[in-house]
Amino acid sequence: MLINKENITNYIPQRAPFVMIDELVTADESGFSSTFKIESDNLFLNDSVLSESALVENIAQTCAAGFGYVNSLKEDSEPQLGFIGAVTRLSVLDSTKLNASLSTKVEILNTFDSIHLIQGTVYDNDRELITCQMKIVLA
């Protein structure tokens, strides 16, 4: 684990109650992975089911933490704010519920200057829940 739950907000701009990532597990120039446990105070729960938008946000926050961590390893680096430029190829395959432990994998497909095309997938154990591509622009 690279970043724990207590320090995750040092790497992402979101604050409670909108934090959708607990730990950054891996991060390098090719991609990132994270974990997230769905707790009862999550704003995106409806009848104990987590919304699809929360899963998309989980992918985005995995990117924020990953890019933030990789950038922090460079000398004289300053924090970069990222923006979602587009979400495409969104496929919702299944839903998940309260108390599930999610794992998210992000692969960096392409980079042009400060624009990154990523493929993100969220899993509940081995069950794929959602996958999409995002264009992330770092400012």
CATH number of the domain at 70, please: 3.10.129.10
* Structural domain count, the chain: 1
Range of the domain at 31: 8-138
Is residue 3 one of the residues assigned to a domain? no
The string of pLDDT tens digits covering residues 10-48 is 999 999 999 999 999 999 999 999 999 999 999 999 999
CB within 8 A of 18, min separation 6: which ones?
43, 57
The string of pLDDT tens digits covering residues 77-125 is 666 788 999 999 999 999 999 999 999 999 999 999 999 999 999 999 9
Is residue 36 one of the residues assigned to a domain? yes
Query: What confidence tier does 74 reach under pLDDT thresholds 50, 70, 90?
Result: confident
What's the whole-model pTM score? Answer: 0.96
